[in-house]
A and B are shown apart, each in its own frame.
Chain A
């Protein structure tokens, strides 16, 4: 992450100490994860200790300290999706992509994650790829849907 970008983000948050979570959201949306270097820069610019940034980054599921793939695949494991077989969908995606939940494929194409309910329960089971929501997934059509992502 270049410094100008970080300065640009910080300029929008006059009180960085209390809005640090929003700032981390923005950093992650630029880098797709929270690089150590960016956290160190952030710490020195805001005065928020890097240990606190680390504790926030590891406490909240949304943040990642490791690089993510080009596309984020999230399988919903909420209750409605669970009773409609989302675990089968996840297992099949893991098998197909050769990576487990929480991991990234070696070619950096996909990162696989599980989410606890995206609130689209009427469409269960649900898979979200980047910002696109796919409803009524079966192991088969989930695999199909992933084909168009490069």
Chain B
């Protein structure tokens, strides 16, 4: 057999967790045993597919052999022999293991630009990136363009910062270029701290060179010779891939002295985060890179004038950097032709929570939320009703089902009291309690507040206390008044973005879900049956078969009953863990 056999296995965090390495080994053993030449492309399929239903359960594998390419889902090591036998050797793909139609729908409406090569190229080989046009943009920029031409191109493209605030990238570069000083630096912010967001992790894991190339172009345009990537220690795979990519870029002459004979010197170092959310704020990030504790400082001076070790510094997020080579290659008009009037290009979202096709999606800016949730995401599972979509992480807000037609861009989300943020999109259904969601975000901000300024340190703590009391059924109307007062004070008086925006989840849930707060306060009820203190578990005696499953699973011995007779829950002993509800096969256990 002379034909090349290509097997691509998903090795993102999702694929690895599902046993991707065992699958690769199984294919290698199987093929070696039969003398088939195979090229193993380790790829990050997690970017290309919704993990739920694909990566979540098992491993996703692409096989090209005998002129046929098939994507297989739920693959484990034991399935390799049959695929090798039937598809690779006999040319008959194993259709029962192939992906279903939802795979095509998931991808149909997406517009992959930053993610275009993720899942196709081998993230550990610079050669693979080069084959797909890698470093072409850098060559063009460094050898043919003047730095100011590059900045103009980025300005014309309308690219805005993908980290959340949406500041025009070209303008930011220009500030830094014009700032006095000979020693300048660029930083890639890969401290992706928003819970529920993993766009940056996936880009760094799936296509690290695109980030390096973007930084190189930016550094040349700004006149910077030093680069730093500040990345979370919670992303070990991304750190490893990035280290390897930087090493390969140096060996290939894309980092270092006199890059490709252009006279441009530039190199990149990695700074590891250590689990502090506030370090995503640029002045805190700089402090952390300097080896200090990550406390933000007041601006001005802005980093463009006085940043890392006093150098003029330009900070952009991973996705922004990875977009730059695309713009240089294809031109500003091409980029600004995608998206909406004020928000150009595409944006990556991590679509998670109560949604069928969870995963990473890249869509043109301005796509109605409805299309993302229903056409790409497949809607809410288990026949439940959509309640809200949370965007922007702890600084964002909740968009209710009534606003599902809203186009997703910086302005439209802002008008609804939420923000674009870095791209987390968490879908919530009728079982999600919005007061509990507000409590969740505030407790996050309380833990992550650096403690430097009083409004944030004390405000978050006080709000958590008030929200906890409400979820325990101890709330009064004064709790709401107090919450509103603290929100206003924190917005006004906090030092950095964390404190200024920490109240957003409370304000947006108060605005759209006031009735849920009222139910907790006046009726002492949680409409979503999520707040433990306000719910009770009971067993329907007509449905209970007396099988004893709940009794055996109850950790507290709170369930009693004789075999084949209806069982009962003792509310005094019940800790409301829900083990009985999970274990009942007859739908006899309910909570209310």
Q: What is the interface of chain A, defined by CB distance below 8 A to chain B? A: 17-22, 24-25, 55-56, 59-63, 77-85, 88, 91-92, 95, 115-124, 131-136, 138-140
Taking a contact as CB atoms under 8 Å apart, the answer to whether B426 and A80 are in contact is yes
Chain A residue with minimal CB distance to B270? A22
Taking a contact as CB atoms under 8 Å apart, the answer to whether A22 and B271 are in contact is yes
Chain B residue with minimal CB distance to A29? B233
Taking a contact as CB atoms under 8 Å apart, the answer to whether A116 and B444 are in contact is yes
Taking a contact as CB atoms under 8 Å apart, the answer to whether B432 and A80 are in contact is no
Given contacts A123-B55, A135-B17, A139-B577, 16 further A-B contacts (CB under 8 A): A17-B291, A18-B290, A19-B291, A59-B450, A61-B276, A62-B275, A79-B195, A85-B578, A117-B196, A119-B197, A119-B235, A120-B13, A121-B197, A122-B46, A133-B13, A139-B579
A residues less than 8 Å from B582 (CB atoms): 138-140
7 residue pairs from A and B, CB less than 8 Å apart: A83-B353, A83-B437, A116-B444, A117-B196, A118-B234, A122-B55, A122-B358
Taking a contact as CB atoms under 8 Å apart, the answer to whether B293 and A80 are in contact is no
Bound Cα distance A116, B197 (Å): 11
B190-206 interface bits toward A, Cβ cutoff 8 Å, 1 = contact, 0 = none? 00111111100110000
B residues less than 8 Å from A95 (CB atoms): 555
B307, CB-defined interface residue at 8 Å: no
B431-445 interface bits toward A, Cβ cutoff 8 Å, 1 = contact, 0 = none? 010000100110010
Bound Cα distance A103, B486 (Å): 33
A residues less than 8 Å from B271 (CB atoms): 21-22
Bound Cα distance A116, B448 (Å): 10
A residues less than 8 Å from B358 (CB atoms): 80, 121-122, 124
Tell which of A59, A78, A123 touches B51, judged by Cβ atoms closer than 8 Å.
A123
- The residues in B between 186 and 238 inclusive whose CB is less than 8 angstroms from any CB of A are 192-198, 201-202, 233-236
A residues less than 8 Å from B52 (CB atoms): 122
Contact A79 B578, CB 8 Å, known A62-B275, A116-B195, A123-B17: no
Number of A-B residue pairs, CB cutoff 8 Å, is: 155
Taking a contact as CB atoms under 8 Å apart, the answer to whether B233 and A62 are in contact is yes
B83, CB-defined interface residue at 8 Å: no
Tell which of B196, B198, B274, B444 touches A60, judged by Cβ atoms closer than 8 Å.
B274
A residues less than 8 Å from B291 (CB atoms): 17-21, 56
B268, CB-defined interface residue at 8 Å: no
Bound Cα distance A18, B226 (Å): 15
Contact A122 B51, CB 8 Å, known A19-B291, A88-B577, A136-B56: yes
B418, CB-defined interface residue at 8 Å: no
A residues less than 8 Å from B46 (CB atoms): 122
* 10 A-B pairs with the lowest CB-CB distances in the bound complex, closest first: A122-B51, A78-B195, A119-B198, A60-B274, A79-B196, A61-B275, A62-B275, A117-B195, A133-B17, A80-B352
Contact A61 B353, CB 8 Å, known A119-B192, A122-B358: no
